[in-house]
Amino acid sequence: MIKILAFIIIISPNLFARDPGQTEITADEGIEVFQNEKYYLLKKNVKISSDEFNLSAEKVKAYFNKDLYDIIILDAHSDVTFEFNNGAKGKGHHLNFLIEEKKLTINGKNSYINFNDLKMNSDEFLMIDNSKKQFFLSGPNSKLRTENLEIIADSIEGQYEIINDINEIINLIIIDKESVSISEGQMDMYAKKAIFSKEDNLIELFNDVKIIRNNETIIGDYAKINTLDRSYKIISKNSKRVKLLIESNNEQN
């Protein structure tokens, strides 16, 4: 118990301030330690504050490796909110954080992760792996947004890199059984599947493709779009026909 109290301080945060390097944990219903299973359980109004992150939830399992100081996994449930010192913050019903791998997963309705200019929402599953610079969204109402981009789809998988403290997307694979929706200001794109490569400056759209730009709507089966100048090529493999719809902006009296 001495070792537990040296690491965990169950006190009101209004009475004492946490010093740098310390981890402060408060829980209304205390702590249960499971030595054989190597985790301790915190219940009701749990709050964890450290140099790297702040987290609150109704129940938290903290898994350790060799001793109680050596936390390797945080598993939190019910009304989970978190904020990390790298800029990531969010909420969900269930959070799992692999500390060494820097891999975070969130489940539950109205879940979200905001990581600087990367904003991710889903009613099912979100994942961001900061060590591998990867992310994944799946399930109903999955949405990825940046300053100039909005993507809605059942499945959004991608990679990013940090340039001048900005998260820039470098690869995307987007799938939806009904229709992927991609909006980037100058152009709206729809398809069953989309692939983006920053290295190639290319977006590819597959199956039930529709591109809307200004007053033009083009429909086909496959499209290849240059992201630098917005030029594109669209073909139709099935019907061998591509449809172009032009809407007139002239008002008639």
Tens-digit pLDDT profile for residues 112-152: 999 888 999 999 999 999 899 999 999 999 999 998 899 99
Q: Is the pLDDT of residue 10 over 70?
A: no
Read off the DSSP letter of residue 230.
-
- Give residue 15's pLDDT: 38
**Rounded Cα–Cα distance for residues 64 and 112 (Å):** 27
User: What does the buried/exposed string (b/e) look like for 205-230 if buried means 16 or more CB atoms within 10 Å of the residue's CB?
Assistant: beeebbbbeeeeebbbbbbebebeee
**In this structure, which CATH number among 1.10.3720.10, 1.10.1240.10, 2.60.450.10, 3.40.50.720 belongs to the domain 184-253?**
2.60.450.10
How do beta strands 39-49 and 53-64 pair?
A: antiparallel
Identify the weakest region by mean pLDDT among 45-54, 101-110, 242-251.
Answer: 242-251
Q: Residues of the chain with pLDDT > 90: what percent?
A: 56
Mean pLDDT across the stretch 6-35?
64
pLDDT at position 5 is 36
pLDDT band at residue 247 using 50, 70 and 90 as cut-offs: low
CA–CA separation, 235 and 176 (whole Å):
20
Q: pLDDT value at position 13?
A: 37
Listed by start position, the domains of the chain span 184-253
Q: Quick count: other Cβ atoms within 10 Å of Cβ 198? A: 15
What φ, ψ does residue 4 adopt, rounded to 5°?
-65, -45
Q: What is the pLDDT of residue 241?
A: 57
Place 245 in a pLDDT band, splitting at 50, 70 and 90.
Answer: very low
pLDDT above 50: residue 37? yes
Average pLDDT of 38-67?
90
Query: Whole-prediction pTM value?
Result: 0.84
Is it the case that residue 7 has pLDDT exceeding 50? no
User: What is the structure's pLDDT at 120?
Assistant: 96
Mean pLDDT, the chain, whole residue set: 85
